[in-house]
Amino acid sequence: MFSEAAKKELQEIRLRYPNARAALLPALYVAQREFGWLSPDAYETVSDLLGVPKAIARGVGTFYAMYKHKPAGRNIVQLCTNVSCMILGAERLVDFLKNKYGLEPGGTTQDERFSLVIMECIGACGTAPAMLVNDDFYENLTENYIEEILQRYK
């Protein structure tokens, strides 16, 4: 169930858009922030509050990679493995995350501290390999640097 503050935010979002469907992206973001991921209940609540069909809400939410469709760790690690990052060691870093943290691509650590998402490109080819942890950007990664970075996140 949405908090009263989230319901109010959804109403304000709806007023900024010409129709309810146009408000779906920010509304789904509010739901994800509220629940941590977009569960069937989250889709139903957004659908009901905006007055759009549930299939439309789910279709929009599943189209975009920015929405989570299963519970995730408290911190989302997005590691780029595209060409520049791969050439400069991203695959070795994926192995490091598996071995050091038990963190598989698409998985979550047992303590629910981290989830790992493999990214196609985060636009940092000149300073590869690169990753995001939540909204924080890191570049020129090494195994030691990743370990130092992840110690900051509880």
- Measured CA to CA, the distance from residue 124 to residue 127 in angstroms comes to 6
- Binding residues, as ranges, are 80, 85, 121, 125
Closest by Cα among 120, 103, 121 to 112: 103
- Measured CA to CA, the distance from residue 108 to residue 88 in angstroms comes to 25
- Measured CA to CA, the distance from residue 132 to residue 138 in angstroms comes to 6
Closest by Cα among 86, 82, 75, 77 to 122: 82
- Torsion angles phi and psi, residue 128, rounded to 5: -70, 160
- Binding residues for [2Fe-2S] cluster, as ranges, are 80, 85, 121, 125
Q: Which amino acid is at 80?
A: C
